[in-house]
Amino acid sequence: MATLSWPRLRSLSLSGHYLTSDQAESLPVLLSSLPHLQTLSLLIAREDSVSRAPVLGHHASPSTVLSGLHSLTLAYPDPEDSIFSVDTTALRHLSLRDWPRHYTYFTFENDYTSSWASPILSSDECLSILQRMDLPQITSLELVYEVQGPGSDDNLLSYVAHTLPKLSYFELHRYRANSRDPLDYMHVVELAAAAAPHAHVMRLNLDFPEDHGPHCSKHPERDAWFAKFKGELGPNIVALLEERCPLLEHVGLLYHGVPTSTWVEFHPSRCAEPRFVLDDKDPERWDSPPIPSRWYEGLEQMPLLQRRRREAAPP
């Protein structure tokens, strides 16, 4: 593709994996041939030996390439990438994320995607990227990052609150670098509410210490977490958000279930029943591809899981 001209291409989505750093070198050449590109999505996994690969390289002066983008999705972005210096004033959607999802590296027995690297951003790196960009029109934002300690992302979320006032969709994946660090999840939710007070939809993956993660076949752990997830954490979070975000339609919390990790909806009290919706059969609510059926074939037969589905499914 990099050897051809694509003067009319408006949307480009590439997914796959880099095996060597050399494979990333043709990407800036390809993108330089797309003068009218409006949507760019790069979900590219990499092995441990391959570091973050810049999209446009490292240049001292801003490039005019990709200056008409409306949507930009990048997995494992390089904070020094020149793509964050282009004209982004027309951008409506920005996703600084991971692929595969970072949580798949902490699965039960870690036997699913352990061969891949996951160089997600730190909260400071994420902030440095946003500070380089001019985003007056952005309405949709996804951030994936790691915090070095409690409160280390306060500046990042405060920056979002002060500079991106039009957000109607906000998705946050926040991981603790040290799993022993405590999580004040209501403090994070308060900052998220301040960052997107006009949000219609908010999705939160907050790396709860009690969360068993994907691929957990230990039924007592799953049952205990589900009870707390549905009965305590979700209601606490949506109660706070409906006070701070009057346009909120629902908050999605990530639940690692069967057949994959799913966004479970908690709706404000002003909404009609059901205000708790877990529909793990709907691909629109999946956050990752389904896990191998060999893992959950036996688990699906559990009466408790079948009862949960009947109770949580929308009418």
- Domain segments of the chain: what residues? 92-312
Instruction: Give the percent of the chain with pLDDT over 90.
Output: 63
Give the mean pLDDT of the chain: 87
Confirm if 308 and 227 have CB atoms less than 8 A apart. Answer: no
In tens, the pLDDT along 230-285 reads 999 999 999 999 999 999 999 999 999 888 899 999 999 999 889 999 998 899 99
Does 53 or 124 have the greater pLDDT score?
A: 124
pLDDT at 60 over 70: no
pLDDT score of 304: 47
Does 28 or 242 have the greater pLDDT score?
A: 242
Q: For residue 56, what are the contacts with CB-CB under 8 A and spacing of at least 6? A: 28, 31, 63, 65, 66, 81, 82, 83, 86
pLDDT at 99 over 50: yes
Q: Which amino acid is at 62?
A: P
pLDDT score of 120: 94
pLDDT score of 26: 80
pLDDT score of 294: 55
In tens, the pLDDT along 133-166 reads 999 999 999 999 999 999 999 999 999 999 999 9
In tens, the pLDDT along 185-224 reads 999 999 999 999 999 999 999 999 999 988 787 888 889 9
Token look-up 């979700």 returns: 234
> Residue 116: pLDDT band by 50, 70, 90 thresholds?
confident
pLDDT score of 18: 79
DSSP 143: E
pLDDT score of 96: 98
Confirm if 65 and 31 have CB atoms less than 8 A apart. Answer: yes
Does 46 or 98 have the greater pLDDT score?
A: 98
Instruction: Give the percent of the chain with pLDDT over 70.
Output: 87
Q: Which of 12-16, 51-55, 191-195, 297-301 has the lowest mean pLDDT?
A: 297-301
Write the DSSP string, 210-237.
Answer: T---TT---HHHHHHHHHHIIIIIHHHH
Q: For residue 58, what are the contacts with CB-CB under 8 A and spacing of at least 6? A: 80, 81, 82
